[in-house]
A and B are shown apart, each in its own frame.
Chain A
Amino acid sequence: MVQVKSLVKYFPIRGGILQRTVAQVKAVDDVSFNIKRGETLGLVGESGCGKTTVGRTLLRLIPATSGKVIFEGRDVFSLTGPDLKAIRRDMQIIFQDPYSSLDPRMPIGESVGEGLLVHGMRDSKKRNDIVMEMLKRVGLEDYHARRYPHEFSGGQRQRIGIARALALRPKFIVCDEPVSALDVSIQSQVLNLLKDLQREFGLTYLFIAHNLSVVEHISDRVGVMYLGKMVELTDRETLFRDPLHPYTKALLSAIPIPDPTIKRERIILQGEVPSPINPPSGCRFHPRCPVAIDRCKVDDPPFEELKPGHLVACHVAKQQVEEEKRLMA
């Protein structure tokens, strides 16, 4: 359904009196993946790894530096005018912060219905019917439509954001950290709702989050990003049971498990994520990688399919997989 090919997004840093570009933040650097119809692709990574930028560029909310996004056979970046408007109807987004993504001076019924108006539904009665239906579907009441955002709690606001995204009956929704601002008991309500709605409306999700447990819960396949690159992508079970990239392994072992009886061997990564302005040479993870070899310092590993349906960008993992194959043969 969605094909992302070599997506690149650099943000220029301007300086000096002439405001010339002095450097570039390489937020997303050559990322490719596909999303199948009806599935949820999870995208995880730490802050600054470019996962949010991927979501926004592929919806064309910010222009890409280069690369291609194909949505149902159409090239999203080359569309203009009515074609672009039509495709925007099919692709929606749910934002992280339910506090700043709703207009504080607009009753929430209008916020939810605004997209319908933009897309040409002039009939206010019809619009109102859809708004009411959507509000009910996300667990709110009719009378809530006349209220303003400040009258709602964080969880309720996130429901409003979901209702707004759903009002246009999209096919594809980018969920950008939809539950990270919420308390755990509210988080589970919203996650369950997203799952139910997916089944009901046949939605496809790109689910962006930094919380791996949440991503594991909701996704069919998961992609892991590090410093603007995709480092591993495979189905959920394989990623969590048998990860190949050393970064994924470290990330998984760093998560505190809410069970005091489990004692695990923990991989603690040294140092911090380097700056995307001046990323390390070769493999971007090599300065923190516990298994890096000399080759990693100079040679950027390609993102390739090492096992069926399991894409990894790592020299060491590739050697290991090849070794395994030789032993098997």
Chain B
Amino acid sequence: MSSVAPAAAKGARVAGKANAGSDRSDLMLDVQGLKTYFYTEDGVVKAVDGVDLKVKRGETVGIVGESGCGKSVTSLSIMRLVGAPGKIVEGRIIFDGTNLLELPEKEMTQIRGNRISMVFQQPTTCLNPVFKIGDQIAEVLNIHQSLGKEAGWKRAIELLRMVGIPEPQKRVHAYPHEISGGQAQRVMIAMALACAPELLIADEPTTALDVTIQAQILDLMRDLRDKTGTSIMLITHDLGVIAEMCERVVVMYAGQVVEEADVYTLFARPLHPYTQGLIGSIPVLGKVREHLDVIPGTVPNLLNPPPGCRFEPRCQACQGAARERCKVETPPLREVEPNHWVRCWMYEK
């Protein structure tokens, strides 16, 4: 399909580009070769280093990885919310046909919170403590839909009812400290959905919550997705949440995408050694094993990542001569079977 030499196409998709033009209409988001670096006193931290990512309309895509793999920075980059010392140095973020990175800030403001909105991990710190919940939801509606105060509050009550807050006409007057973490996350979701966004980015939306509350929130998100048809990009470290919510999964490691597949394929036949290790290392309810699989060592420091494959120092997949290449050359993300992308030299034909 492609004649590009792998070394030249480092970090880019090698195959499957030919039909990219024809299905553009059903692509909601297309991130291409995104690089976001942080210029710290100690040096340049390559937090996101060549990430490609696609979200189709109405699709739920999961991004999974451990802390420091760049999943949150990727989402902040899409929203253009990366602050100093961080900077997007390369790449394109095509949202519904427009490259967000080329938009002036004023136009970006019209997209942010309106057409793309975000739900964060810590709901209580994301709400302003000195304003009532109703004010905060109405503010979003005022900015993007020029709704007046009265109409905004009315709509806020409707939204709170939609996300399952009991007695919304009373709770709308509450301040953030008066509500629990689970309720605060519902308020965040109500706020994010206020303008019926086309894309919702949820960054660890249930990590800070207890399991029974997590089940409520996931249920709510599924319900709203089915009703509104919003595309969702769900960022999490919990493979259980991924299995339950997503259609397609992107696995990230040390600032790069290492594997991408539909959720069934990924759990049934993970190909990248990191994905295999990750799936093997979690205890699964109802399947007790004497020992869990272990990925030895720790995540590399992104100030000074390994020169070749970033997973090589922890990889247990192969030994000897086959390994030499991994040490010096970064493998490209390639399509090893239809719609299954892997960044590993093992699958080089």
Contact = CB atoms under 8 A, between A and B. Distances in A.
Interface of A: 46-47, 153, 155-156, 183-189, 191-192, 195, 210, 212-214, 216-217, 236, 240-241, 250-262, 266, 268-269, 272-273
A266 B263 CA distance: 20
A217 B267 contact: no
Nearest to B263: A260
A210 B211 contact: yes
Interface stretch (B116-124, B138-146, B192-200, B291-299): B291-299
15 contacts: A188-B281, A188-B283, A191-B292, A216-B288, A217-B292, A250-B212, A254-B211, A256-B240, A258-B282, A258-B284, A259-B267, A260-B264, A262-B243, A272-B180, A272-B182
B106 to A, nearest CB: 39
A215 B180 CA distance: 26
Nearest to B262: A260
B346 interface: no
Nearest to A236: B288
Contacts of A212: 211, 285
Interface of B: 66-67, 180, 182-183, 210-216, 218-219, 237-244, 263-264, 267-268, 277-279, 281-286, 288-296, 298-299
Contacts of A185: 66, 277-278, 281, 294-295
Contacts of A153: 298
Contacts of A216: 283, 285-286, 288
A22 to B, nearest CB: 20
A268 B215 contact: yes
Contacts of B277: 185
Contacts of B219: 266, 268
Contacts of B214: 254, 256
A254 B279 CA distance: 20
Q: Select the residue from A156, A185, A236, A266 with max chain B CB neighbours within 10 A.
A: A185
Nearest to B282: A184
Nearest to A215: B283
Q: Select the residue from B277, B281, B283, B293 with max chain A CB neighbours within 10 A.
A: B283
A62 to B, nearest CB: 23
Given A183-B237, A185-B295, A254 B284 contact: no
Given A185-B277, A213-B285, A258 B242 contact: yes
Contacts of A257: 240, 243-244, 284-286
Given A192-B291, A258-B284, A272-B213, A184 B237 contact: yes
B293 A258 contact: no
| In the A-B complex, the 7 residue pairs with the closest CB atoms | A256-B240, A217-B283, A188-B281, A254-B215, A188-B292, A258-B239, A46-B210
Contacts of B180: 272
Contacts of B294: 185, 188-189, 192
Given A185-B277, A214-B283, A261-B264, A254 B292 contact: no
Contacts, number: 123
B283 A255 contact: no
A299 B298 CA distance: 52
Given A261-B267, A268-B216, 19 more contacts: A183-B66, A184-B282, A185-B277, A187-B281, A188-B293, A216-B288, A251-B212, A254-B212, A254-B215, A256-B241, A257-B240, A257-B243, A257-B285, A258-B239, A258-B267, A259-B284, A260-B263, A268-B212, A272-B183
A253 B241 CA distance: 13
Nearest to B285: A213
B66 A210 contact: no
A255 B263 contact: no
A268 to B, nearest CB: 5
B278 A184 contact: yes
B264 A240 contact: no
A268 B216 CA distance: 6
B282 A259 contact: no
A210 B214 CA distance: 13
A143 B241 CA distance: 40
A325 to B, nearest CB: 27
A185 B300 CA distance: 13
B283 A191 contact: yes
B159 to A, nearest CB: 20
Q: Select the residue from A195, A212, A213, A256 with max chain B CB neighbours within 10 A.
A: A256
A55 to B, nearest CB: 18
A147 B289 CA distance: 35
A266 B298 contact: no
Nearest to B283: A217
Contacts of A46: 210-212
A42 to B, nearest CB: 12
Contacts of B212: 46, 250-251, 254, 268-269
Contacts of A191: 283, 292
A273 B277 CA distance: 36
B111 to A, nearest CB: 31
B283 A213 contact: yes
A102 B212 CA distance: 32
Contacts of B290: 195
A213 B268 CA distance: 20
B202 to A, nearest CB: 14
Q: Select the residue from A191, A251, A254 with max chain B CB neighbours within 10 A.
A: A254
A250 B263 CA distance: 25
Contacts of B210: 46-47, 210, 273
A239 B19 CA distance: 52
Contact of A256 (B183, B218, B237): B218
A216 B294 CA distance: 18
B281 A184 contact: yes
A290 B194 CA distance: 32
B285 A188 contact: no
Given A185-B295, A188-B293, A256-B244, A251 B211 contact: yes
Given A186-B298, A251-B212, A213 B291 contact: no
A96 to B, nearest CB: 15
